[in-house]
Amino acid sequence: MKFFKPRIRILWLGLTVICLLYSAMVYMVGSGTFSFTIWLAGGAFFALCFYLAGKGRWERVPKGLKCGAVAVITAVVAVFLVCFIAIFSHFFDEGEAGLDYIIVLGAQMRASGPSVVYRYRLEKAGSYLTENGDTVCITTGAQGFNESISEGAGGKEYLIAKGIKADRIIAEEQSLDTDDNISNALVIINEREGSTDGLRIGIVTNGFHVFRGVHIAQKLTTAEVYGIAAYMEPQYVPNNVVRECFGILRDLKNGLLEL
């Protein structure tokens, strides 16, 4: 294969270095997740490619093993490509005016307030609520072991501090993940309204996360569901998009969404 010719080694070396540096950058954020290990694994893969491209090593690999490796890599690339297309199909969703409810998907709370990711979601929700005075907001998320307050309560406090009236915000404080965020928020809406039939609901989260949020909600309610995409710092988009692919695959396996 031409990808394992000696003259291509510089490509594999460059990708190895990029993955390792990006892994370090993601780790330094201190988000509490282990997504930086994805980039360590990528660096290890490209380092292996660099090694195999030298001194005719790839040519000495048994043909059956080479065919198997190529088949696996092709399948993985195809799966991730489909996930990328799904994610970017909702990456810039702006929702619709006059929604009955918006659900803000929770993210980490720090001692200083919402994490950067969560803050962008709340800022987007705050802007929407300011422009749509009859919409009710549900902030979601339980209190993690490394959080001084629940994500739902912290999100509500942040929006109140931004000028949104407290009676327009409901804090959901039991959910542990995206699926819980949405299902528990829908329970609250059902208790208030008696049904979600005929309602229009927005899912507020960062662009990379909107596809999964919207499609999980569509599986759980008869309401019309809209995505509302919040900002995402560009340098972290690759990490979050790749990590989101694993979330999509998990939820597909569990029957929580469909592509």
**Residues 8-49: tens digit of each pLDDT:** 899 999 999 999 999 999 998 876 678 899 999 999 999 999
Q: Is residue 80 part of a domain?
A: yes
pLDDT of residue 145: 83
- C-alpha dist (Å) from residue 119 to 109, 110, 154, 197, 231: 9, 11, 10, 31, 10
Alpha carbon distance, N-terminus to C-terminus of the chain:
33
pLDDT tens digits along 204-255? 999 999 999 999 999 999 999 999 999 999 999 999 999 999 999 999 998 8
Same domain, 143 and 39: no
Same domain, 165 and 249: yes
pLDDT tens digits along 90-144? 999 999 999 999 999 999 998 889 999 999 999 999 999 999 999 999 999 999 8
Alpha-carbon distance of 251 to 14, in angstroms, equals: 34
pLDDT tens digits along 171-196? 999 999 999 999 999 999 999 999 99
Same domain, 73 and 139: no
Three-state secondary structure of the chain:
CHHHCHHHHHHHHHHHHHHHHHHHHHHHHCCCCCCHHHHHHHHHHHHHHHHHCCCCCHHHCCHHHHHHHHHHHHHHHHHHHHHHHHHHCCCCCECCCCCCEEEECCCCEECCEECHHHHHHHHHHHHHHHHCCCCEEEEECCCCCCCCCCHHHHHHHHHHHCCCCHHHEEEECCCCCHHHHHHHHHHHHHHHHCCCCCCEEEEEEEHHHHHHHHHHHHHHCCCEEEEEEECCCHHHHHHHHHHHHHHHHHHHHCCCCCC
Alpha-carbon distance of 156 to 103, in angstroms, equals: 12
Is 202:136 a contact under the CB 8 Å cutoff?
no
Categorize the per-residue pLDDT at 74 as very low, low, confident or very high, splitting at 50, 70 and 90: very high
Q: Is the pTM of this model over 0.85?
A: yes
Same domain, 135 and 71: no
pLDDT of residue 31: 66
Same domain, 167 and 67: no
Same domain, 40 and 124: no
pLDDT tens digits along 131-165? 999 999 999 999 988 888 999 999 999 999 999 99
pLDDT of residue 32: 64
Same domain, 84 and 109: no
What is the edge-to-edge ordering of all strands in the sheet holding 224-230? 169-172, 136-140, 101-104, 200-206, 224-230
pLDDT of residue 256: 83
pLDDT at 259 over 70: no
pLDDT of residue 202: 98
Q: Is residue 187 part of a domain?
A: yes
- Copy the structure tokens of residue 168: 């327009």
Q: Where in the sequence is the domain holding 77, given as residue range(s)?
A: 2-88
Same domain, 146 and 238: yes
Q: How many residues does the chain have?
A: 259
Same domain, 15 and 39: yes
Residue matched to tokens 């540096």: 21
